[in-house]
Structure 1
Amino acid sequence: MAITKSNIPPKAQKLPPGVYTPVISLYKPTKTQELDLDAMYKHAQYLVRGGMHGLVYQGTNGEAVLLTREERIQALKTARRAVTDLGVPEYPIVAGISAESTNTSIELAKDAAEAGASFALLLPPSYWTKAISEEALHKFFRDVADESPLPLVLYNFPQVTPGQDLTSDDLIALAQHPNIVATKLTCANVGKAIRVTSKFTPEQFTVFGGSSDFLFPTLEAGGSGCVAALGNVFPKSTSKLYDLWVAGEKEQARALQDVVANAEWACKKGVVLTKFGAGHFVGPKIGVKAEAFHPRRPYLPPAEKAQKWTVDIMGVLLDEEEKIPDKTFGVNGAK
């Protein structure tokens, strides 16, 4: 018995496979917490040197809802400058364009393209959930895709969109659009991923997991990678898991998956602990003070007990991270 594959043509632009970091926003230690673009530049280069295959800005971990339109533009321009200065000007940068209205999402997509982003990431609308029928939901994504200068990645994260959970039927229907190229499944539903990958090749529509704690099963299910908050803290280990799997070193990849899954548990508690972990483990390495990693008000840094717990949980990856060398770059990119 076989599943009939879709016959839609390959997409003009495919989201490259691999592990992406949903990059956190860093702030100056002032009352209004302006973006610390210098710190974000350093962090971006640290992630790329750490082996990340792409960066995602203005997603949930980027605190997108707390940023102004101008701040979004500044952050994306800084990221593009950071990768260009490393010698990889075509490095994939995905920009979150999620908004409650179709018009605003289109505006953000155009802003992101002008600022140097490569792809756009979009959540379902969720302000009036009872008014969002299947027809309205599909029309929202298609209308944005029609006008977006960037290829669209569907972002499914039911925890932040109350009542809105893109089903495999939704994804399969929306994948027919020529400018909808991929999905990020933070719902962690591997069954959903399998149903979608059973219908499409990665050239037609690409499936990514929403965290690294189920990267191995995502890849085994036909997915192309993941977007992992843990990458903000341990980019080398999370990207290595993917690289091992691609190289056919599945036994090593499976063993590393166990450790990565345990370390990412802290990220599951929310962006506050993810940012603290990055400040603790990464801040000293890139010369950025811990205050830059504080969440934006009204959210507060974690209490001392939560800080200790985060260090203990994430720390299981420290030895692995330290023994992996940085990637080096030249005029023609990675070496």
Structure 2
Amino acid sequence: MPISKSSIPAKAKMLPPGVYCPVITLYRPAKTQEIDLEAMYTHCQYLVRGGQHGLVYQGTNGEAILLSREEKKDILRTVRKAVTDLGVPDYPIVVGISGQSTNESIELARDTAEAGASFAVSEEVLRGFYTDVADESRLPVVVYNFPGVTSGIDLNSDDLRALASHPNIVAVKLTCGNVGKGVRLTSQFSPEQFSVYGGSSDFLFPTLEAGGVGCVTGLANVFPKATARIYDLWVDGKKAEARQLQDVVANAEWACKKSLALTKFGAGYFVGKKLGLGDEKTFWPRRPYLPANEVMKKWTVEVMSVLVEEEDAIPEKRFGKGANGVGK
């Protein structure tokens, strides 16, 4: 029996499909760990040139809970300037607005709109919370379902189906890794009604095959070109090549699953010197969290190194039309 399709109208503004990097926050290599806005600017442009279809700031990978309200606004202004200077002023910038209360999340939503964000993403898990925030947000809202940081609370298919009917809730990021949940949603909603994104690149190919439209992956901080390439190959109909690259990406991403400290170390090790950011402390987590120890550093290099050859073989993005079809 055919699955009944939703009759809700298409949303006015949807998150463009593709691979999005949840960008790490970089600090000055000093005890006080102020935000290094120059480094953030440089890293942002590196990710865009690397072919990422959009960037996510101030989420779990961005250590949002450790940033002040003013620091968050400073970062957003910096990255909006970075993409504008690169020639893609309309490049998609998604910003986390999860707060400790509904009021705080609404306040953060207003800040992000004023500072230049394109979309807002929240990781709380109650239907009423999402509805209240979406009602007040000037930006379209993406639901961030991440049971690992919400004491195991997991939005199920029925929850997401109900939230999808809100005119200002446009997509979900499934960091729960539940491909079956994604299939249930894509069987009922078109991408124009409610889009489904995987929460990492190690199951991007299955997400696309199931009707999803992309993913958000911490590994893109280290290998932006290779992670985006899976999506690009799939869209071009080169599925065998996409599947082959998916195998390598999935193995490299295993290190990111272990901890944020390893993701940041990997970025520093493989990318830092390319960007003139040679001090490893720039990539340390913010205190009180600790950087990776020597044993895990060595393991991370071994695990991530499988993707170096593929990453180096992919050319950087050239601008004219812009990134992701936007800009000049």
Give your verdict on TM over 0.5: yes
Match of 2:124 in 1: 124
Q: Distance in 1 between matches of 2:183 and 2:250?
A: 20
The answer to whether 1:326 aligns with 2:326 is no
Match of 2:80 in 1: 80
Q: Deviations over 1:49-80 (max 9, x none)?
A: 00000000001000011100111111111111
Match of 1:134 in 2: none
Q: Where does structure 1 differ by over 4 angstroms across 4 or more consecutive aligned residues? A: none
SS at match of 2:242: helix
Q: Distance in 1 between matches of 2:142 and 2:259?
A: 22
TM (normalized to structure 2)? Answer: 0.97
Match of 1:300 in 2: 290
Q: Distance in 1 between matches of 2:68 and 2:185?
A: 35
Listed as ranges, the gaps of 5+ residues in structure 1 are: 126-136
Q: Distance in 2 between matches of 1:3 and 1:274?
A: 40
Q: Distance in 2 between matches of 1:312 and 1:208?
A: 28
The answer to whether 1:245 aligns with 2:263 is no
The answer to whether 1:258 aligns with 2:247 is yes
Distance apart, 1:100 and its partner CA: 2.2
TM (normalized to structure 1)? Answer: 0.95
Aligned identity (percent) is 69
CA contact (8 A) 1:94 1:120 kept: yes
CA contact (8 A) 1:124 1:164 kept: no
Q: Distance in 1 between matches of 2:313 and 2:123?
A: 37
Distance apart, 1:163 and its partner CA: 3.4
Give the one of 200, 206, 225 matched to 2:214. Answer: 225
Match of 1:104 in 2: 104
The answer to whether 1:34 aligns with 2:52 is no
Q: Distance in 2 between matches of 1:172 and 1:61?
A: 27
Distance apart, 1:241 and its partner CA: 0.5
Q: Deviations over 1:163-219 (max 9, x none)?
A: 321101100000000000000000000000000111100000000000000000000
Give the one of 307, 315, 326 matched to 1:317. Answer: 307
Match of 1:188 in 2: 177
RMSD: 0.9
Q: Distance in 1 between matches of 2:138 and 2:34?
A: 29
Match of 1:212 in 2: 201
Q: Distance in 2 between matches of 1:100 and 1:198?
A: 33
Q: Distance in 2 between matches of 1:333 and 1:11?
A: 24
Listed as ranges, the gaps of 5+ residues in structure 2 are: none
Q: Distance in 1 between matches of 2:306 and 2:77?
A: 34
Q: Distance in 1 between matches of 2:238 and 2:152?
A: 40
